[in-house]
Amino acid sequence: MAAKIPFKKPTPFKAETRQLLNILIHSLYSEREVFLRELISNASDALTRLDFEMLTNRDVLEPDAEPGIWISVNKDERLLTIRDNGIGMTAEEMAENLGTIAHSGARAFLEAANQEKGAVSNLIGQFGVGFYAAFMVAEWIEVTSRSYQKESQAAVWYSEGEETFTIRASEELARGTTIKIKLKEDAADFTEEYRIREIVKRHSDFVPYPIYLGENADQVNQVTAIWRKSPREVTEEQVHDFYRQFTLDFTAPVAYAHMNVDAPVQLYAMLFIPENTEKSFFSLRKEDGIKLYARKVLIQEYCRDLLPEYFRFVQGVVDSEDIPLNVNRETMQASRIIPQLKRLITNRVIDLLKDLAQNKKETYEKFWKASGRFVKEGIASDRENLSNLSPLLRFSSLNHPGELRSLDDYIAEMKPSQNKIYYLTGEDERSLMRSPHLDLYRKQGFDVLLLSDPIDAFVVLALQQYKDHPLAGATAEKPEGGETTPDEPQITQSPEKIDALITLFKDLLGDKVVDVRSTDRLTDSPARLVNKDGSTQPEMQRVYRLLQKEFDEPEKVLEINPDHQLITGLLDLTAEDPRRALIVEQIYENALLIEGLHPNPATMIERIQQMMQAMLK
């Protein structure tokens, strides 16, 4: 027995919906045609939902009806009608879907409209408010719908876009939804069939269901899924049009791949790398994952099983004849087809990025600055693709500050005697450039990669070597073949003076360091801090900190440069001179600061002021 229609009297819209309607009705936008795009998109969604329902349930109203979208116009009465035979709605669903906006969509739209005053028409459809865009052109709207459920009763929703809407019973027998719009006088051009054709071509050409227009029911869209065509038959302009329709991102992707594969599995795919890989507040696709079709039927809107997690920024469509239509999450994970598809798609994305890096270096650098962390995440987590991903890495370096260098670039400039790739990790590039650990490398012309991204610690732990060149931390290693030559200055201080300096630092620093020793690794810097021998390597320490795991902080050794004027000058100060203790403390804390280990740099201010006062005496 069909449920009675519970809505007889006019029902008020929610407050935020009334605000939204007020904006749409009383404002003029230069691209009011977006309302038709949204209504066609809603019709397509209704058909897709029915397809999905019928994968497991054939007991629906009119199960054999051919899916489609029909548009008709009546110039004399200024009427525009859009009909689909999709999943339909009950009266209760009408009240919920058309009388309010879920997930605070109205509020989000209103906030965005205030921020994007010149582009409000581009925001429609991104907050679940697409249907309401029709009120930009409508005097009134009537929606008649019958659900796919056989016992459901059809209903009619009506509103003039003001304070209320009404819902009443209908005798409609056919499944689906019909939207009838009485157009405003200044919107009469939407009763011109040529105008409708233009809009469909521009916005909805790749909707996966036929769109019919007029009394003759001429099909006005392509329908054929663009990803199923041969790549030779598809122009770049068509690809970009599809991308805009698919994502509502009006910035062209930085790269795309059109796949048409027959073996080892059958696969059609269109994959995109967006210019901005961060999903903005305005993104159409709110979750990670790509659309998965089986034999042209959408079976998963956001599939995350076909690409590794670090490629979650990739958008696109995958379609395969080898996936059964009744597939579900569990059978997908157990299927042997899915790993094969994943391998093919992952390799294609890697090749796409490699091609971008080689042939469009400036574009790749922009991608890297915005989204290189995804590749680094892959290096750290995917042993299988480690060698494929590593050529995509980019770093700044000691000899090329501010530039982005690949590992191949680094190898090409290695010294004849050099086999290792040197790197230094730290908090930021400016601090790394001033690191005392680089003194000897800078003096002898060796390059060092500067790794200042937090995830870089994971990268070097996973990578270990590149093309038979081991990665070596500059903190512990001396440059290969870069030992001090006779024509370069060596330590000139006598052993007695060096011992005196070491004793001085030990006495004044106490247990702040586990040891003090001299080193020939420093040329321009007075001192540096290194870990006690046998300590956890610096990269692992950074990993522990990032993961907020407890570990014993390694004891520190202070290495001093006995030839540095700041160090030797300490011997000229008497034991009673307060400047001596101040300078030693400051040298130590400077070393802490440059390593990113100082717990509270503000505590240095008082000491610095004391030293300044001592200079004035």
Q: How far apart are CA 393 and CA 378, in angstroms?
A: 11
pTM of the model: 0.69
Residue 103's pLDDT is 37
Q: How far apart are CA 68 and CA 213, in angstroms?
A: 11
Q: Over the range 304-315, which residues count as b (16 or more CB within 10 Å of their CB) and which as e?
A: ebbbbebbbbbb
Q: How far apart are CA 282 and CA 287, in angstroms?
A: 12
- Distances from the Cα of 91 to the Cαs of 97, 128, 156, 167, in angstroms? 10, 19, 8, 7
pLDDT along the chain (617 residues), means of 10: 56 72 60 84 89 90 96 97 96 82 46 52 46 88 96 94 88 95 95 94 82 94 85 92 83 94 91 83 70 77 91 93 63 73 95 96 94 95 95 97 95 94 90 93 95 91 93 88 52 84 94 93 93 74 69 85 91 88 94 89 90 82
- Distances from the Cα of 576 to the Cαs of 506, 579, 581, 612, in angstroms? 17, 9, 9, 18
Q: Are 183 and 280 within one domain?
A: no
In what order do the strands lie in the sheet containing 255-261?
A: 255-261, 267-273, 315-320, 290-294, 297-303
Q: Is residue 442 part of a domain?
A: no
Q: Are 145 and 291 within one domain?
A: no
Q: Is residue 414 part of a domain?
A: no
Q: Are 180 and 239 within one domain?
A: no
Q: Are 344 and 241 within one domain?
A: yes
Enter the tokens of residue 166: 């009404």
* Residues contacting 341, CB < 8 A, separation 6+: 265, 267, 306, 318, 320
Domain boundaries, position 196: 11-219
Q: Looking at residue 138, which CATH number applies to its domain?
A: 3.30.565.10
Enter the tokens of residue 22: 């007020």
Residue with tokens 């697409």: 130
Q: How far apart are CA 140 and CA 158, in angstroms?
A: 7
Query: Which bin fits 285, alpha (ψ -120 to 50), beta or left (φ > 0)?
Result: beta
Enter the tokens of residue 539: 């990269």
H helix runs in 248-402, sequence order: 329-334, 337-359, 361-381, 386-389
Four-CA torsion 78, 83, 89, 92, nearest 10 degrees: 0
Residue 10's pLDDT is 83
Residue 421's pLDDT is 96
Q: How far apart are CA 113 and CA 547, in angstroms?
A: 40
Per DSSP, the residues of 402-415 read EEEE-HHHHHHT--
Q: How far apart are CA 10 and CA 97, in angstroms?
A: 16
Domain count, the chain: 3
Q: Is residue 481 part of a domain?
A: no
* Coil, helix or strand at residue 452: coil
Q: How far apart are CA 208 and CA 212, in angstroms?
A: 13
Nearest to 10 by CA among 150, 124, 158: 158
- Distances from the Cα of 112 to the Cαs of 14, 16, 124, 374, in angstroms? 19, 14, 10, 28
Q: Is residue 580 part of a domain?
A: yes
Residue 201's pLDDT is 83
Q: Are 75 and 174 within one domain?
A: yes
Q: Are 190 and 242 within one domain?
A: no
Q: Are 262 and 134 within one domain?
A: no
Q: How far apart are CA 166 and CA 31, in angstroms?
A: 29
Task: Evaluate whether 398 touches 447 at the Cβ level (below 8 Å).
Answer: yes
Residue 24's pLDDT is 63
Q: How far apart are CA 272 and CA 78, in angstroms?
A: 41
Q: Looking at residue 597, which CATH number applies to its domain?
A: 1.20.120.790
Which of 157, 187, 219 is a domain's end point? 219
Which of 365, 392, 425 is a domain's end point? 365
Q: Are 37 and 56 within one domain?
A: yes
Enter the tokens of residue 317: 């469509």
Q: How far apart are CA 276 and CA 551, in angstroms?
A: 37
Enter the tokens of residue 41: 């998109």
Q: Is residue 471 part of a domain?
A: no
Sign of the dihedral defined by the CA atoms of residues 186, 188, 194, 195, in that order: positive
Quick one: how far is CA 332 from the chain centroid? 25
Which of 365, 397, 417 is a domain's end point? 365
Q: Looking at residue 264, which CATH number applies to its domain?
A: 3.30.230.80
Q: Is residue 568 part of a domain?
A: yes
Helix, strand counts (H, E) of the chain: 20, 23
Task: Evaluate whether 470 touches 407 at the Cβ level (below 8 Å).
Answer: no
User: Which H, E and C letters describe 29-58, residue by residue?
Assistant: CCCCCHHHHHHHHHHHHHHHHHHHHHCCCC
Q: How far apart are CA 192 and CA 403, in angstroms?
A: 56
Q: How far apart are CA 565 and CA 309, in angstroms?
A: 53
Backbone angles phi, psi at 56, to 5 degrees: -120, -5
The amino acid at residue 76 is: D
* Residues contacting 585, CB < 8 A, separation 6+: 508, 509, 607
Query: Does 264 sit behind a cis peptide bond, omega within 30 degrees of 0 on the bond before it?
Result: yes
Q: Are 253 and 171 within one domain?
A: no
- Distances from the Cα of 385 to the Cαs of 57, 308, 392, in angstroms? 41, 10, 12
Strands 290-294, 315-320: pairing kind: parallel
The maximal CA–CA distance of the chain, rounded, in angstroms, is: 108
Burial of 279 (0-12, 13-18, 19+ CB in 10 A): middle
Q: Is residue 262 part of a domain?
A: yes
Q: Are 178 and 300 within one domain?
A: no
Q: Is residue 37 part of a domain?
A: yes
Half-sphere exposure of residue 20: CA atoms within 13 angstroms, side-chain side: 31
Q: Are 271 and 203 within one domain?
A: no
Q: Are 242 and 293 within one domain?
A: yes
Enter the tokens of residue 349: 């994305």
Task: Evaluate whether 299 touches 332 at the Cβ level (below 8 Å).
Answer: no
Residue 482's pLDDT is 56
